């Protein structure tokens, strides 16, 4: 594998779609509010979001390789790392540099947006940088924070941050809408941790399934999925969003299907990857369809 291909694989490109989808939802809330949206500004926001996700993925790959975790996990399409560094250990430094450069790009975009466009973005931007820097080395040892970190990053910070950067305002509706990807992004990582429970525990991680077990984790998954889709139902029924936003309820079937697989297979769910795929699809399609409903409803 070429050096470029190794670094690209370590950034987990197949998973980078979630950031743009959450930025899309933030854009949709701005358009729904009839804000005048700057296309160059939106492209800059999108760049910052993708860079943040690349940084998290690359730094996570680097630290997991250095800790020996990558050598102990069983690789799947959704868990166990990309396998790029175990196959090409000489590229560890390049992956670390990639993560740091992506972090610098994220910070630069954030500084520009705060200084030129929306000073009120500062708390969200600072929180985002803290999440990126602390995720692998610290948050993975705090089960509740690790559980909620993906939702905070992709749901609250990206959706609300995009809206604020585009409009300069913090309306209540955008916070409520951000709860949808908040709950689903939490579920995305929660299920992806199941196949790696033993290996993660061996290197000192203490994420939610390790500390509280599969049964409690299944219950949390069900509650989070219900909360995400009930949020959509309540916003449609109270006419805070157009009826077309009900399209975003369709992926609830995928979450329900994934939950069935979790109940059936538990920590062995990697043997039935269709359930993990359904979970990924639900986390991406729901905010995508929600944004479509807001813009065209």
pLDDT at 69 over 80: no
Rounded CA gap, 186 and 182, in Å?
6
What are 154's two structure tokens?
A: 């992709």
User: How many alpha carbons lie under 13 Å from residue 57 in its C-beta half-sphere?
Assistant: 28
CB 277 within 8 A of CB 15: no
Token look-up 């809408």 returns 177
What are 193's two structure tokens?
A: 């941790």
pTM score: 0.93
Mean pLDDT over the full length of the chain = 92
Give whole-number Cα distances, 109 to 46, 51, 165, 232, 246, in Å.
10, 9, 11, 31, 34
Token look-up 């868990």 returns 79
Identify the CA nearest to 248 among candidates 281, 293, 297, 280. 293
Rounded CA gap, 109 and 47, in Å?
8
Token look-up 């999925």 returns 225
pLDDT bracket for residue 165 (50, 70, 90)? very high
Domain boundaries along the sequence of the chain: 3-296
State the average pLDDT over residues 13-35. Answer: 94
The confidence score (pLDDT) of residue 10 equals 85
Of 62-66, 122-126, 213-217, 282-286, which range is least confident?
62-66
Sign of CA dihedral 258, 142, 84, 86: negative
Looking at per-residue pLDDT, the higher value among 70 and 10 belongs to 10
What are 78's two structure tokens?
A: 């959704």
């Amino acid at each position: 594998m070429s050096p470029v291909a190794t670094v690209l694989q370590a950034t987990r490109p197949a998973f980078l779609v979630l950031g743009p989808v959450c930025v899309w939802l933030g854009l949709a809330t701005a358009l729904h509010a009839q804000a005048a949206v700057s296309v160059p500004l939106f492209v800059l926001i999108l760049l910052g979001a993708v860079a943040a996700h690349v940084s998290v993925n690359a730094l996570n790959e680097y630290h997991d390789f250095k800790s020996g975790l990558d050598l102990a996990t069983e690789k799947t399409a959704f868990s166990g790392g990309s396998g790029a560094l175990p196959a090409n250990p000489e590229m560890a430094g390049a992956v670390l540099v990639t993560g740091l450069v992506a972090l610098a790009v994220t910070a630069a975009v954030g500084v520009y947006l705060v200084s030129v466009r929306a000073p009120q973005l500062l708390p969200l931007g600072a929180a985002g940088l803290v999440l990126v820097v602390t995720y692998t080395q610290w948050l993975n040892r705090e089960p509740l924070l690790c559980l909620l970190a993906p939702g905070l990053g992709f749901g609250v910070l990206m959706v609300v941050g995009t809206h604020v950067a585009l409009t300069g305002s913090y309306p209540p509706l955008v916070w409520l809408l951000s709860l949808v990807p908040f709950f689903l992004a939490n579920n995305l990582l929660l299920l992806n941790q199941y196949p790696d429970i033993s290996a993660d525990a061996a290197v000192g991680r203490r994420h939610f399934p390790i500390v509280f077990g599969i049964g409690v984790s299944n219950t949390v998954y069900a509650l989070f999925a219900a909360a995400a889709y009930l949020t959509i139902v309540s916003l449609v029924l109270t006419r805070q969003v157009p009826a077309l936003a009900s399209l975003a309820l369709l992926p609830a079937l995928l979450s329900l299907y994934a939950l069935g697989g979790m109940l059936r297979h538990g920590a062995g769910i990697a043997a039935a990857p269709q359930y993990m795929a359904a979970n990924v699809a639900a986390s991406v399609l729901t905010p995508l369809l929600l944004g479509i409903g807001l813009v065209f409803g």
